[in-house]
Chains A and B, each alone.
Chain A
Amino acid sequence: MAEPRSIDIKEQPGFRSIAVICLLVLYVPVLILMIFSLNSGSLVTHWEGVTLGWYGSALRNEEFHNAARNTLIISISATIISTVCATLAAIGMTRVKPWRGLAAAFMVINLPLMVPEIITAVATLSFFALIAGTFGLNFGIGNLILAHTVFCIPFAYMPIRARLEDMDLTLEYAAADLYATPWKAFKRITLPLLVPGIMSGAALAFIVSFDDFTITQLVAGPGQTTLPLYIWNQIRRPMTPEINAISTILLLVSILFVSVSFLIARRRAK
């Protein structure tokens, strides 16, 4: 592909402008939202001047604190559980001889990605209502953590599995040759090589949990308002630029985690 012609033959007319349009469509609305979070006027749509005041009032707002705390408890717990499970599952499904049921297991892991969110949401709601009604069981915020863990697992699983498949097995065999126990070989060889995949998977799991609205809205119980639910409640009230400030904070957290995940993956590619 090093021929001088190669760039030329790859061109298609108009594609560049469409790509630029796509980027504009994706970015202009959120950029405007971010800019208006700096608006000093109290009406959302009239620009009056620059201030960081809305960030101040957002950060001092106790409801926001509670929502942020709930979100972090849920997201961090779901991320840890799902990443551990996904790592184990990825090893159990790649470092093995194909076993009967492997395809089915693979489907189960990916199931949460195939089911529309609204269905998962009402199904989870019915499930927790049933066990609360029948056995008197209510895990409190654990309900949300479990619900989130379910859909975080496939997101954590994908990069870890991809990493395992790309890995050079020679080292693992060499370790086995040198009479390392399977656990030692795993700890000294496989795990260190797997870390970028795990980190990348954990970052993705964190973001999907952090941003989830639909499932959280239906499953959440008392005192379990998360940041997306908080924003939802705010949208339905007279809006001030504070909501833009809070939204911008959420976006920045997502951007941070995507970038981290991306940079780790890129380092891996090198």
Chain B
Amino acid sequence: MSGKLMAAVSAAVLLWAVPALADGELHIYNWGDYTNPKLIEKFEKQYNVKVTLDDYDSNETMLSKVRAGNSGYDIVVPSDYTVKIMIEEGLLEKTEPNAMPNGKNIDPRFLNIYWDSGRHYTAPWQFGTTAFSVNTDKFKGDINTLAILFNPPDELKGQINVLDDVNTVMHAAERYAGVPRCGADKASLKKINDILMAAKPSWKTFSYDTITKITSGDVIVTEQWNGAAYRSRQKIPAIKYAYPKEGIEGWMDNVAVLKGAKNLENAKLFQDFVMAPENAALISEYAGYDNGIAGSHKFLPAEFANSPEISPPAGSPTPEFVPPCPPDVVEIYNKIWTNLRK
């Protein structure tokens, strides 16, 4: 009797476990909390493809899983400098998104970029800036300076989250110190090291979970991306995104197809799919960043497109897109980073 019961239970489990029938599959590996479920649903319906979605929290995590080989993913969404690395390493499939039907929609500003000039490998996903946000209910002073992160006033000490991202933090420190990006010059590296060591006691956490950290009241200041700042402000209106006078980092995430992807055709379909303006708008609507596809703004609420996070106020610094640093500088960065967090 119990044998029958077991058989029935396992049969039920197996039935439930069989995936719904579809023409094909597509395995996407994207940043966490970044993909609009509606976008995936729409793609699944339109092409009858079963999509699985997993997330990572840094380019480095994604890269290490992909480099390990045979990861099983078809699509990844690396940031600018990571795209450059991946192309150099031969990790990406040359899918010519620029020649795809929707390739004509690529905003000319994002066509001949340093990481994929002419868009032979990647389609735009979203772009934005990295600075920091402050809960202005709890801090009233001037926020448009990197001193908030690196030499904070007393009331902000111990109330700061910085991104657990060596490049972002290093580049921010370089801007604060007024030295060039990726500089191998010993004197400037020493200067940066000193700034970081002095700032560290004021930092409460190193984390990517910026929205949670600032909206739960765990911190008053968090290093953040503009779209995340927009979403934080939807929860707590007093959260303000800063445009530090020392400079601001720009970035762009891009849809790329991994070399040897099992579902190559579906992956290409997906690249084309995300370049349609109404679909790009779906991406932006969810994650809160601009997308680099011309004509998508008319599908977005004006309130979003005109928000201070998306359209910087006049006089704000121009976003700087930083290419990957040379390996010897990366090595020194990593040493400074470990030393900082020992």
Contact with A along B195-207 (1 / 0, CB 8 A): 0000000000001
Contact with A along B64-77 (1 / 0, CB 8 A): 00001111110000
Cβ-defined contact, A237 with B212, below 8 A: yes
Cβ-defined contact, A222 with B29, below 8 A: yes
Q: List 12 A-B contacts (CB under 8 A).
A: A72-B13, A73-B17, A76-B10, A133-B68, A133-B69, A140-B72, A220-B54, A223-B27, A223-B54, A223-B72, A236-B33, A236-B212
Chain B nearest CB, measured from A130 CB (Å): 9
Chain B nearest CB, measured from A253 CB (Å): 14
Chain B residue at smallest Cβ distance from A69: B17
A238 at the interface (CB under 8 A from B): yes
Q: How far is the CA of A220 from the CA of B68 in the complex (A)?
A: 13
| Given contact pairs A72-B13, A129-B68, A238 touches B211 in the complex (Cβ within 8 A) | yes
Chain B residue at smallest Cβ distance from A220: B54
Query: Which listed residue (A44, A69, A125, A138) contacts B16, Cβ 8 A?
Result: A69
Cβ-defined contact, A237 with B70, below 8 A: no
B209 at the interface (CB under 8 A from A): yes
| Given contact pairs A233-B32, A237-B33, A222 touches B69 in the complex (Cβ within 8 A) | no
Chain A residues 67-99 with CB under 8 Å of chain B are: 69, 72-73, 76
Chain B residue at smallest Cβ distance from A224: B54
Q: How far is the CA of A199 from the CA of B235 in the complex (A)?
A: 49
Query: Which listed residue (B54, B69, B211, B216) contacts A225, Cβ 8 A?
Result: B54
| Given contact pairs A222-B54, A223-B52, A236 touches B32 in the complex (Cβ within 8 A) | yes
Chain B residues 20-54 with CB under 8 Å of chain A are: 27, 29, 32-33, 52, 54
A-chain residues with CB within 8 Å of residue B68 when the two chains form the complex: 125, 129, 132-133
Q: How far is the CA of A98 from the CA of B201 in the complex (A)?
A: 60
A182 at the interface (CB under 8 A from B): no
Q: How far is the CA of A238 from the CA of B218 in the complex (A)?
A: 12
Cβ-defined contact, B52 with A222, below 8 A: yes
A-chain residues with CB within 8 Å of residue B246 when the two chains form the complex: none
A-chain residues with CB within 8 Å of residue B54 when the two chains form the complex: 220, 222-225
A-chain residues with CB within 8 Å of residue B216 when the two chains form the complex: 44, 238-239
19 new A-B pairs (CB below 8 Å) besides A236-B57, A238-B211?
Answer: A66-B52, A69-B16, A76-B13, A129-B68, A132-B69, A136-B70, A221-B72, A222-B27, A222-B52, A222-B54, A233-B32, A233-B33, A233-B55, A235-B212, A236-B207, A236-B212, A237-B212, A238-B212, A239-B212
**Interface of chain A, main secondary structure:** loop
Q: How far is the CA of A44 from the CA of B217 in the complex (A)?
A: 12
A-chain residues with CB within 8 Å of residue B57 when the two chains form the complex: 236
Chain B contacts to A: CB under 8 angstroms: 10, 13, 16-17, 27, 29, 32-33, 52, 54-55, 57, 68-73, 207-209, 211-212, 215-216, 235
Chain B nearest CB, measured from A69 CB (Å): 6
Query: Which listed residue (B73, B211, B215) contacts A222, Cβ 8 A?
Result: B73
User: Is the interface on chain A under 10, 10 to 19, 20 to 34, or 35 or more residues?
Assistant: 20 to 34
A-chain residues with CB within 8 Å of residue B235 when the two chains form the complex: 238
Chain B nearest CB, measured from A133 CB (Å): 4
A-chain residues with CB within 8 Å of residue B13 when the two chains form the complex: 72-73, 76
Chain A residue at smallest Cβ distance from B70: A132
Cβ-defined contact, B55 with A72, below 8 A: no
Q: How far is the CA of A69 from the CA of B14 in the complex (A)?
A: 10
Chain B nearest CB, measured from A257 CB (Å): 14
Cβ-defined contact, B52 with A238, below 8 A: no
Cβ-defined contact, B32 with A222, below 8 A: no
Chain A nearest CB, measured from B26 CB (Å): 10
Query: Which listed residue (B10, B71, B211) contacts A237, Cβ 8 A?
Result: B211
Cβ-defined contact, A237 with B209, below 8 A: yes
Chain A nearest CB, measured from B332 CB (Å): 25
Q: How far is the CA of A239 from the CA of B217 in the complex (A)?
A: 12
Tell which of B27, B55, B72 has the most Cβ of chain A within 10 Å: B72
Q: How far is the CA of A224 from the CA of B54 in the complex (A)?
A: 8
Chain A nearest CB, measured from B296 CB (Å): 25
Chain A residue at smallest Cβ distance from B41: A62
Contact with B along A44-69 (1 / 0, CB 8 A): 10000000000000000000001001
Q: How far is the CA of A246 from the CA of B211 in the complex (A)?
A: 21
Cβ-defined contact, B33 with A72, below 8 A: no
Contact with B along A110-141 (1 / 0, CB 8 A): 00000000000000010001001100101010
Q: How far is the CA of A20 from the CA of B32 in the complex (A)?
A: 42
B-chain residues with CB within 8 Å of residue A223 when the two chains form the complex: 27, 52, 54, 72
| Given contact pairs A72-B17, A129-B68, A223-B52, A238 touches B73 in the complex (Cβ within 8 A) | no
Chain B nearest CB, measured from A29 CB (Å): 17
Q: How far is the CA of A66 from the CA of B50 in the complex (A)?
A: 13
